[in-house]
Structure 1
Amino acid sequence: MIADPGDAVGHLRRLAAQLEAHSFLVDLEAPEDPLPRLHVVNPMVPAMTEDVLASHEEDGQWWFWLSWAGRLGHADDIATVAERVASVLHVIRR
């Protein structure tokens, strides 16, 4: 994955807004090295966390990725990506 940190931050901010609207806690971490990342926390179960990165492929298309290299979805489809993050952080109550 190759990414421009400035562009990556812009995509991560859009995703952060969508996740905050669904009551997730988010923290945009934008160090120069490593890549910018969005730390997402399930507020109902704070131990359930995930880091999301934004990167583009050689063709210039931007994608969101889980920290363990699982591709979440295209950067133009924020709603679907937010749903997928929510499913990763979802806790099933019994």
Structure 2
Amino acid sequence: MTADDGQAVDHLRRLAAQLEAHSFKVCLDAPAGPPPRLHVTNPMVPTVSEDVLAAHEEDGEWWFWLSWAGRIGHAEDIATAAERVASVLHVARR
């Protein structure tokens, strides 16, 4: 694991804790090779899930990204990032 991967895992763990506190299921995947990712699932609708990555910009600032390259929030603003992930995984009740 590279130093960047280690930092990404640290950021993803903090986001995972915030999402778990709001009842989302999370699974941190940090294999050798591909970047670490956090798989987040809506427990009310298990087919609704998303992968979140943490990466830094050239200026060194860390951000969270959705798997389809949607930047969702600064790594230091866990609450906002968690809210944005939740909004992506939200399913309206009928």
* Higher relative contact order, chain-length normalized (CA < 8 Å, sep 6+): 1
Q: Find the aligned partners of 1:43 and 1:4 in 2 and give their Cα distance.
A: 30
Letter in 2 for 1:62: W
Q: CA RMSD in A?
A: 0.9
1:17-36 matches, within 5 Å, as 17-36=17-36
Taking structure 2 as the reference length, the TM-score comes to 0.96
> 1:1-94 counterparts in 2 under 5 A?
4-94=4-94
- Distance, in Å, in 1 between the alignment partners of 2:17 and 2:64 is 15
Runs of 4+ in 1 over 3 A off after TM superposition: none
User: Which residues of structure 1 form unaligned runs of 5+?
Assistant: none
Cα contact 1:40–1:51 (8 A) shared by 2: yes
Structure 1 length as normaliser, TM-score? 0.96
